[in-house]
């Protein structure tokens, strides 16, 4: 697969230096040091082979141009309001068709040794994209530990519901039904490209990007990447998903990136690269966001214009 060095040569210097400190910390961990604060973003020195060969978008753009409707519908709202969200302590309920249901504290879910950097392109259905150097670990780790039952075929996810800290969940105008929910087929969820992210750019996840734990499924449109997860439920039936509930004609369950299947209101053939400047040419969107080789088999025989 494609990968390139990392982002030492394209990252603002202060971030690069803080990343080096983190890497030194990772070496310390390997030597058996206790976990100090910030352990959720500690990364191994080696970048993942699953990373794409692309220059990461600037940290400033990744953390100030967001969709997180619990904090408002404008791109700047999450950064402006998400600071008020309390992310410690945090736990995730894992239930449904699993052998080991329970409420798992975040620290128990995240094994520092499994964290790695994944440079993925996030392609939003609205027609823009960014390249994000996530820190995360395979969702399969968590699912396997919970021991999926033989009848489990889907995985449902749920975001925190906390109107006191999430202005988009209170007041007269609420853009979506809460909590935000998403879902994957179990084989999609178990795919090694699918991760739970705890950080980006070598640091803990900023709240506006879905702290302390968010899903990242790089071959699907960005809205599948549900933020601030509090519940993961294994089910026999396809679970409801927020944008499909909102507008089923426009948003399907699968939501695989596909330049040949347009959204009813927008072409999906090309994308605007955030941070590229107003004269930058649009990028041609790739089938499955560039991962056709890795995930194409999951959809063999399916009509992608029906299962959009």
Binding flag, residue 256, ligand MTE (CB under 6 A): no
If the CB atoms of residues 199 and 222 are measured against ligand MTE, the closer one turns out to be: 222
89 preceded by cis ω (within 30°)?
yes
Q: Tell me how crowded residue 37 is: count the other CB atoms within 10 A of its CB.
A: 7
Contact letters for ligand MTE, residues 215-234 (x by CB under 6 A): -------xx-xxxx------
Binding flag, residue 207, ligand MTE (CB under 6 A): no
Binding flag, residue 137, ligand MTE (CB under 6 A): no
Binding flag, residue 209, ligand MTE (CB under 6 A): yes
Distances (CA, A) of 33 to 39, 63, 208, 255: 11, 31, 30, 42
CA–CA gap between residue 190 and residue 187 (Å, rounded): 5
Contact residue for ligand MTE among 52, 110, 124, 257 (CB under 6 A): 124
Q: Considering only residues 163-192, where is the footprint of ligand MTE by CB under 6 A?
A: 180
If the CB atoms of residues 97 and 213 are measured against ligand MTE, the closer one turns out to be: 213
Question: How many residues appear in the chain?
Answer: 308
Residue range at the interface with ligand MTE (CB under 6 A); choices 13-21, 24-32, 60-68, 183-191: 60-68
Binding flag, residue 129, ligand MTE (CB under 6 A): no
Closest residue to ligand MTE in the complex (CB): 222
Q: Considering only residues 65-94, where is the footprint of ligand MTE by CB under 6 A?
A: 66-70
CA–CA gap between residue 181 and residue 226 (Å, rounded): 7
Helix (H, G, I), strand (E, B) or coil at 179: coil
CA–CA gap between residue 35 and residue 115 (Å, rounded): 13
If the CB atoms of residues 59 and 69 are measured against ligand MTE, the closer one turns out to be: 69
Binding flag, residue 285, ligand MTE (CB under 6 A): no
> Shortest Cβ distance from residue 59 to ligand MTE (Å)?
12
Distances (CA, A) of 50 to 5, 18, 117, 191, 218: 12, 23, 9, 12, 10
CA–CA gap between residue 154 and residue 82 (Å, rounded): 30
Interacting residue ranges for ligand MTE, rule: CB under 6 A: 66-70, 122, 124, 159, 180, 209-210, 222-223, 225-228
């Amino acid at each position: 697969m494609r990968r390139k060095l990392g982002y030492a040569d394209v990252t603002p210097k202060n971030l690069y230096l803080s990343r080096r400190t983190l890497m030194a910390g990772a070496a310390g961990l390997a030597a058996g040091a206790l976990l100090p604060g910030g352990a959720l973003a500690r990364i191994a020195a080696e970048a993942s082979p699953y990373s794409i060969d692309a220059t990461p978008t600037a940290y400033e753009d990744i953390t100030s141009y967001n969709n997180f409707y619990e904090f408002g519908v404008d791109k700047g709202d999450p950064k402006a309001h998400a600071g008020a969200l309390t992310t410690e302590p945090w736990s995730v309920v894992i239930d449904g068709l699993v052998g080991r249901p329970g409420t798992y504290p975040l620290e128990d879910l995240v094994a520092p040794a499994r964290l790695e950097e994944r440079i993925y392109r996030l392609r939003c259905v609205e027609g823009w994209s960014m390249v994000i150097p996530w820190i995360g670990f395979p969702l399969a780790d968590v699912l396997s530990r919970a021991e999926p039952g033989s009848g489990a075929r889907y995985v449902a996810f749920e975001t925190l519901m906390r109107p006191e800290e999430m202005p988009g969940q209170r007041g007269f105008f609420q853009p979506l039904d809460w909590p935000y929910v998403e879902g994957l087929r179990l084989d999609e969820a178990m795919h090694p490209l699918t991760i739970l992210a705890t950080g980006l750019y070598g640091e803990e996840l900023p709240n506006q990007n879905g702290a302390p734990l968010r899903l990242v499924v790089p071959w699907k449109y960005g809205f599948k990447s549900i933020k601030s997860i509090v519940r993961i439920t294994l089910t026999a039936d396809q679970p409801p998903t927020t944008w499909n509930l909102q507008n089923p004609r426009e948003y399907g369950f699968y939501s695989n990136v596909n330049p040949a299947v347009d959204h009813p209101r927008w072409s999906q053939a090309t994308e605007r690269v955030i941070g590229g400047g107003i004269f930058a040419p649009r990028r041609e969107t790739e089938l499955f966001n560039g991962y056709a080789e890795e995930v194409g088999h999951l959809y063999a025989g399916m009509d992608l214009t029906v299962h959009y």
